[in-house]
Structure 1
Amino acid sequence: MRERVLRCLAVCGAAAAVAVGGVAPAASAGDGPEADLAFHGSAAMASGVVDVRFTPRNHGPSAVSDATVRLRWSEPLALRQVLPGGCARSGLRVVLCRVGALAADGLGERVELRVRLRGAPSEVLLEIDTVWNGGVVDLNRANDRQRVLVLDTGDEYYF
């Protein structure tokens, strides 16, 4: 666990490392500025390899100083993964990716990653949610929590 936290500190940001154990920092109304994070993109799977692409967006009204997203798969990931900069593995089925600062009513940098699942399942459920939002209050959690069933067809499934 200590090694995962240290790696996440270096890659995902200090606040996300606090959430590695599955407890995300939360803010309630009145605790800070309000923002509205959203993640939309696509996922495709072929022979146990899943390609995920998404773009973070902040609908505002306040800027987000830093954000990290959690991607969870219903199937375990292969032991060895090559992840892009800003992403770190956090368990058998979880990857954290830092999306960084997001201006009010602004788009972030597109995140693209490829993961290999153990074996070659015919389907996988991918869940995406915010694990750190820089301390802002997000009253609309519906658009930063996504679930998509990805079938092993090579087709893109949008969320």
Structure 2
Amino acid sequence: MRVLAGCVAAAIWVGGVAPAAGAVEVPEADLAYHGAAAMSEGRVDVRFTPRNHGPSAVPDASVRLRWSEPLANRQVLPAGCARAGARALLCRVGGLAADEVGEAVELRVRLRGVPSEVLLEIDTVWSGGVVDRNRANDRQRVLVLDTGDAYYF
């Protein structure tokens, strides 16, 4: 019994002081996306800027943009963006140094039909192996009404 108690105490002591031998420390960053979306007659204009609050750099990142309504079959997309299903796109954001604002991403998509509203969701799908423990600001949701007005996120 004493041997078992000593092993448990040693395991707790070692686990609290230093990582296990051979453990790899994963860099951490805090990605965020802020921008606006506007819809008019089935066309949605989206503009957002990525930011890395750090503490580590992100070698490359990509975001997914999902709509609650299906996209029209034919789209003219900016370089770095591609279809990912009937309602989604993937867009490359690129690398971001710690505490850096990246290049703005701008695109226009056409929806099938002319809905009166659409829910747009944006989230990180690739961060180059960097961990983001604060997922609250890299997951955005915005309801966009067919008014032509900008809705900010």
TM-score interval w.r.t. the shorter chain? 0.7 to 0.9
State the aligned residue count: 130
Question: Residue in 2 aligned with 1:37?
Answer: 31
Q: If the length of structure 1 is used for normalisation, what is the TM-score? A: 0.81
- In the superposition, the TM-score normalised over structure 2's length comes to 0.84
Structure 2 unaligned spans of 5+: 1-23
Cα pair 1:43 1:52 within 8 Å, conserved: yes
Picking from 74, 83, 88, the partner of 1:80 is 74
CA distance in 1, matches of 2:136, 2:25: 20
Counterpart of 1:14?
A: none
Equivalence map 1:56-71=2 (5 Å): 56-71=50-65
Mapped to 1, the partners of 2:25 and 2:139 lie a distance apart of 21
1:9-158 equivalences in 2 (<5 Å): 32-158=26-152
Following TM superposition, by how much is the alpha carbon of 1:143 offset from its aligned partner in structure 2, in angstroms? 0.1
Bigger Rg over Cα: 2
* Shift >3 Å, 4+ stretches: none
The aligned amino acid for 2:142 is V
Which one-letter code corresponds to 2:116 in the other structure? S
Q: Would the aligned equivalents of 1:128 and 1:144 in 2 still touch at CA under 8 Å?
A: yes
Structure 1 unmatched runs, 5+: 1-29
Q: Give the counterpart letter for 1:146 in structure 2.
A: Q
- Deviations 1:27-51 (CA, angstroms, capped at 9, x unpaired): xxx7510100000000000000000
